[in-house]
Amino acid sequence: MDENKSKSEADLSTKEANIDDVSNNQDATTEICEAVKGLDANRYATKKTVAQGMLDIALLTSNASQLKYVLQVGPKHEFYMLLVVLISISIVLQLLVGLLFVVIGGLDLNDDSDQPSAIVLNDVIVIFIFVISVTNIVISAFGIEYSNNPLILERLKYINNEYIRKGNVTSS
């Protein structure tokens, strides 16, 4: 028992030493906190906005290409109206998100008066991006067949019909 008691007393003295060490390290913790506070939120937000803007440009380019294809094929496409409407909605929302990026990029996040506006704008942007993503998933689900050469299929059908028509004329 005496051995257990002496171990407990040794543990308590060790704990006291650790508490002293922790209180001495509070200065180091304070320095770390000040260094983290020194990070520029505006710089981070600007980099984030630029990265999102580049992704938005890539998606905008893709949607423009899809719209071009659907318009080239015309009403012959099985889902012509649906795709034109969805792609147009996606493009309009992307342009709106781009404008909101410009607005949010001009806000000073270190200024307390700009922070509520930045939070609301960021939430609106997230909602728009979600809607854009869902819209583009639906666009992909209805498929853009033969997107590399959209009119080749129509040309092949025309040639095939002409061949069949000429074949029927010569066999008579």
Which pLDDT belongs to residue 28? 54
CA dihedral 85, 91, 93, 96 (to 10 degrees): -140
Cα 61 to the chain's mean position, in Å? 15
Cα distances (angstroms) measured from residue 101 to each of 80, 85, 95, 120, 134: 31, 24, 10, 12, 20
Rounded mean pLDDT, 73-92: 89
Number of Cβ within a 10 Å radius of residue 84: 16
3-state SS of 87-129? HHHHHHHHHHHHHHHHHHHCCCCCCCCCHHHHHHHHHHHHHHH
Q: Are 139 and 86 within 8 A, CB to CB?
A: yes
pTM as predicted: 0.58
pLDDT tens digits, residue range 95-120?
A: 999 899 888 888 887 788 888 888 89
Q: Residue 25, class by beta-carbon neighbours within 10 Å (0-12 exposed, 13-18 middle, 19+ buried)? A: exposed
Alpha-carbon span 9 to 14, nearest angstrom: 9
Asked if pLDDT for residue 121 goes beyond 50, the answer is: yes
Instruction: Estimate the crossing angle of helix 41-73 against helix 80-105, to 10 degrees.
Output: 160
Question: Looking up tokens 């508490």, which residue turns up?
Answer: 19
pLDDT tens digits, residue range 21-80?
A: 545 555 555 555 555 555 676 777 778 777 877 887 888 898 998 899 888 888 887 888
